[in-house]
A = this chain, B = another copy of it.
Amino acid sequence: MVDDDVEYQAAILTVDVALFALVNGRLHVLLSKRDKAPYKGRLALAGGYVHVDEDADALAAAKRVARQKLKMNLPYLEQLATFSGGQRDPRGWSASISYIALISTNQTKEVAAELHPVDDLPKLAFDHNKIIIAGVERLRSKTSYSSLPVLLMPRLFTLWELQQVYEALMDTKLDKGNFRRKVLDLGIVEGTGKRQDAESVSHRPAELYRATKRTLALYDQTVG
């Protein structure tokens, strides 16, 4: 670091977490209505000040913030980028260390009311629209070459459901046969022998699959 001769005026330091989930195969993000200025009444990402006396680092702050929102095990959490500047917060120069998180469909029930489709958002507080766009972009770019999207799935799912999630994230159509071959050959998912509820569909019921241990281990951060 270059040494400055004076201390500089402090900046506001926050973390923001974009919690992504699927609702009916569409990608959603968790937003809450702000009950205070600035941007009182606007929707915003889960976030808050870094607590210097309490948070070991920014990741810990993001975990704390996520835990306040979800009363359940913490999801996959990855640093996205830091958004900063003198214009984004009316209170002054601020920096937001932003994270993306994925929650499985099994975990969406309690927060369903706060999930909003990412491709149809109103104007949000601060520069949170920008953060979400960057988060979706990160998600998309990782989708094509990774098993990350299985973290969005419920515990059991059909291959067709999984394919629809990949298609939604990549915004493209995939070939059924090639997709099956790929996720099975790569050991991303495995069959369970169980089948879809026979009465729920009017055709041959599909087999139910789950993420392999290996896949889950890839992303497990063993945080609670």
Chain A interface main SS type: loop
Contacts of A84 in B (CB 8 A): 50, 57-58, 97
Q: Are B8 and A52 in contact (CB under 8 A)?
A: yes
Number of interface residues of A (CB under 8 A): 45
* CB of A8 to closest CB in B, whole Å: 5
Q: Are B2 and A68 in contact (CB under 8 A)?
A: yes
Q: Are B8 and A10 in contact (CB under 8 A)?
A: no
Q: Are A126 and B57 in contact (CB under 8 A)?
A: no
Q: List 13 A-B contacts (CB under 8 A).
A: A2-B32, A2-B47, A2-B48, A2-B68, A8-B49, A10-B11, A10-B52, A11-B13, A11-B50, A13-B13, A13-B95, A79-B81, A95-B95
Sorted nearest first, the 4 A-B pairs with minimum C-beta distance are: A57-B85, A10-B10, A1-B47, A2-B48
